[in-house]
Amino acid sequence: MPPDSGLLSRKPIDAADRLILALDMASAEEARALIRTLGDSVRFYKLGLELFMTGDGFVLLDELTAAGKAVFVDLKFFDVPRTVAAAVRQLRGRGAAFATVHGNDSILEAACAEKGDLKILAVTVLTSLDRGDMEDLGFQTDIAALVLSRARRALAIGCDGVISSGWEAADLRRDLGDRLLVVVPGIRPAENRPADDQKRTVDVEDAFRHGADYIVVGRPICGAADPRAEAESYQHRIAVLFADAG
């Protein structure tokens, strides 16, 4: 689907906060070094499963929030509803802005019942999966239709937003308007798709023109020769896009 500037997010989010940097690395020391390098070029960070498994996930969360950074805890809670509710209850009040939950209606309901000020993002279909992968898992379904169906249900349940690839973001925005947050991972340069385990990818401008409120970027910035310069380049592209639209 071609980009549509009319779908550009109208939510009152500062342009510099729309870039979420994924700290997908093996140690807290690596993460801290990158955070120091990036300085004020990044204001929003994602902490995922790999870093939490080092035992320093909450330490980094506390350090980042104390430094005035926003934090997205991406652990994709997926378990029986009571366990997911307990996990969200443990996380709320720790300063995180977003958390991801992956599951059916009862799991999402349990998470939302305990969220407090924490925004719950429902995972629709992982961006590392394509139609062939879904068929391998036993699901004979159209991914776009599945994403839209899951987003509608998540919104009705009380979730604050969804994780969706940029491929489906436009359908979500057209169908659901501004009633939920759309967070798009799998951002890749147009000339570098696909070059890794992400399959349903888009570039920065397409993601936002399809309706993303936030984008999550990891390897293209973290793996750059000059991560700060790369982050500043992304921020400039985002700022220009929204300034032109305004």
Residue with tokens 């639209």: 245
Q: What pLDDT digit, counting tens, does each position of 19-68 carry? A: 999 999 999 999 999 999 999 999 999 999 999 999 999 999 999 999 99
Position with higher pLDDT, 38 vs 133: 38
Instruction: Quote the pLDDT of residue 141.
Output: 59
CA distance 165 to 207: 8
- How crowded is residue 60: how many other Cβ atoms within 10 Å of its Cβ? 20
Percent of the chain with pLDDT over 70: 84
CA distance 129 to 74: 17
CA distance 99 to 75: 7
Please check the confidence at residue 140 and state whether its pLDDT lies above 80. Answer: no
- How crowded is residue 105: how many other Cβ atoms within 10 Å of its Cβ? 13
Instruction: Quote the pLDDT of residue 147.
Output: 80
Instruction: Quote the pLDDT of residue 106.
Output: 96
Instruction: Quote the pLDDT of residue 2.
Output: 47
Position with higher pLDDT, 191 vs 172: 172
Q: What pLDDT digit, counting tens, does each position of 174-207 carry? A: 999 999 999 999 885 654 444 444 445 688 999 9
Catalytic entry in 76, 115, 119, 199: 76
Range(s) of the domain holding residue 155: 5-245
Number of domains in the chain: 1
Instruction: Quote the pLDDT of residue 168.
Output: 85
Chain center to CA of 159: 14
Q: What pLDDT digit, counting tens, does each position of 61-110 carry? A: 999 999 999 999 999 999 999 999 999 999 999 999 999 999 899 999 99
Confidence of residue 132 (pLDDT cuts 50, 70, 90): low
Instruction: Quote the pLDDT of residue 5.
Output: 59
Q: What is the DSSP string of the chain?
A: ----GGGS--S---GGGSEEEE---S-HHHHHHHHHHHGGG--EEEEEHHHHTTT-HHHHHHHHHHTT-EEEEEEEE-S-HHHHHHHHHHHTTSS-SEEEE-S-HHHHHHHHHT-TTSEEEEE-S-TT--HHHHHHTT----HHHHHHHHHHHHHHHT--EEE--HHHHHHHHHHHTTSSEEEE--B--GGGTTSSS--S-B-HHHHHHTT-SEEEE-HHHHTSSSHHHHHHHHHHHHHHHHHHH-
Confidence of residue 119 (pLDDT cuts 50, 70, 90): very high
CA distance 137 to 224: 34
Whether 69 sits among the annotated catalytic residues: the reply is: no
Please check the confidence at residue 220 and state whether its pLDDT lies above 60. Answer: yes
Does this model's pTM top 0.85?
A: yes
CATH code for position 112: 3.20.20.70
User: Out of 56-70, 81-95, 157-171, 222-236, which region has the weakest mean confidence (pLDDT)?
Assistant: 157-171
**What separation in angstroms does the CA of 92 have from each of 21, 96, 118, 136, 152?**
21, 7, 6, 36, 24
Share the mean pLDDT of the chain: 87
Confidence of residue 129 (pLDDT cuts 50, 70, 90): very low
